């Protein structure tokens, strides 16, 4: 099984999560809890609302040999798997682990063992640029560009090895 990026309607993420859970599909949607909003019942109180780190995109662990991609994309509010060259592109475990490390480290305070700056320094520069983008929509587009560049470099390596 490999990890792929699934595009979905960003405002319906809870519904998409529930459908995937009901299908028994493993998924991972990194969440950003750094945004606060004022509580309606308490004017001096704030709440953190988790929102997807990449609005409209989540990572899905699936084996297309046992479940066809259209079975997942037929779910309400899902669109497509991100693909380059006509086929869905698998995401490397390393990239997924780096996103997870960033997500977990984002909520840490500077006084903790490993401050977020240290965590970001351990992530490759190209991916860190994506993860540190403040604008959520731009962050999603940077993720797609990053994945496209990774795909192109892997194709070039494969072609140079076969030549």
Strands 26-28 and 83-84: unpaired
pLDDT tens column, 41-99: 777 777 777 888 999 999 999 999 998 989 999 989 999 999 988 889 999 999 999 99
Q: Which CATH number fits domain 2-162: 3.40.50.10320, 3.40.980.10, 2.60.40.10, 3.30.70.940?
A: 3.30.70.940
pLDDT at 108 over 60: no
H-only helix segments in the chain: 13-23, 69-73, 93-106, 116-121, 125-131, 136-162
For residue 112, what pLDDT band results from cuts at 50, 70 and 90?
Answer: very low
Whole-angstrom distance, CA of residue 45 vs CA of residue 41: 8
User: What are the Cα distances from residue 25, in Å, to 15, 53, 72?
Assistant: 14, 20, 9
Cα(44)–Cα(74) distance, integer angstroms = 44
What is the model's pLDDT at position 97? 92
Lowest mean pLDDT among 2-16, 61-75, 97-111, 118-132: 97-111
pTM for this one?
Answer: 0.80
């Amino acid at each position: 099984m490999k990890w792929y990026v699934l595009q979905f309607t960003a405002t319906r993420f809870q519904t998409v999560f529930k459908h995937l859970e009901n299908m028994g599909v493993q998924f991972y949607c990194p969440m950003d809890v750094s945004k606060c909003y004022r509580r309606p019942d308490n004017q001096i109180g704030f709440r953190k609302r988790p929102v997807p780190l990449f609005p409209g995109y989540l990572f899905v662990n699936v084996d297309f040999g046992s479940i066809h991609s259209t079975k997942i994309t037929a779910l309400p509010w899902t669109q497509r798997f991100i693909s380059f060259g006509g086929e869905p592109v698998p995401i490397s475990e390393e990239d997924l682990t780096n996103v997870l490390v960033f997500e977990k480290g984002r909520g840490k305070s500077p006084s903790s063992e490993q401050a977020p700056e240290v965590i970001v320094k351990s992530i490759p520069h190209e991916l860190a640029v994506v993860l540190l983008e403040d604008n959520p929509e731009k962050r999603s587009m940077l993720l797609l560009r990053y994945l496209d560049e990774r795909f192109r470099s892997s194709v070039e390596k494969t072609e140079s090895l076969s030549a």
